[in-house]
Structures are given as C-alpha cells and as structure tokens.
C-alpha cells in the first residue's frame, strides 16, 4: 500500500519521503498529528490528501522505525 502513496525523489523536497503527486512530506504529516491536528483537519488544509494517504504515511514511519537502528537518547538524572 505504501508504494502507491509514498515516494522519494532526490529532486523533490531533498529526497524526503512524500505523498505521491504532492510536496507534502511524511515528516509534516507526523508533525501535524503529533501536535494534535486531526486527520480531518489535515485533509481540510490539504484537500488533495486522503485518509488512505495519511494512513500510508503512518505505516511508512512505523516500518522505518522497525529498522535495526539504535536511537540514542539523553541520559536523565
């Protein structure tokens, strides 16, 4: 499903993963959702997006985080 919605092209948005046919990055969608915007609000702001495209962005991000990479965090006292 992601392959249909999520693409990456070095000529568009510096190669960041975007929603196909747009310049809207997966990163932007995640930022909007994490700041409390609803899917409906995002679609209202960007009418060419669909619910399926936003779900594909979330699935893409989840898959990317499953990679065998260690994400260092700051020590907490």
**For the structural domain made of 2-65, what CATH number should be given?**
1.10.10.10
More confident: 59 or 69: 59
Of 8, 44, 39, the residue nearest 25 (C-alpha): 8
Lowest mean pLDDT among 1-15, 36-50, 53-67: 1-15
Q: Where are the domains of the chain?
A: 2-65
Q: Count Cβ atoms within 10 A of the Cβ of residue 19 and give its class: 0-12 exposed, 13-18 middle, 19 or more buried.
A: buried
- Please give the pLDDT value at position 73: 73
Confidence of residue 69 (pLDDT cuts 50, 70, 90): confident
Residue range 5-33, pLDDT digits in tens? 999 999 999 999 999 999 999 999 999 99
Question: Residues 6, 56: contact at Cβ < 8 Å?
Answer: yes
């Amino acid at each position: 499903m992601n392959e249909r919605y999520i693409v990456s092209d070095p000529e568009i948005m510096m190669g960041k993963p975007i929603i196909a046919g747009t310049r809207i990055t997966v990163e932007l969608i995640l930022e909007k959702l994490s700041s409390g915007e609803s899917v409906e609000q995002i679609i209202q702001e960007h009418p060419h997006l669909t619910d399926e495209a936003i779900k594909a962005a979330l699935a893409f991000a989840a898959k990317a985080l499953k990679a065998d990479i260690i994400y260092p965090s700051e020590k907490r006292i």
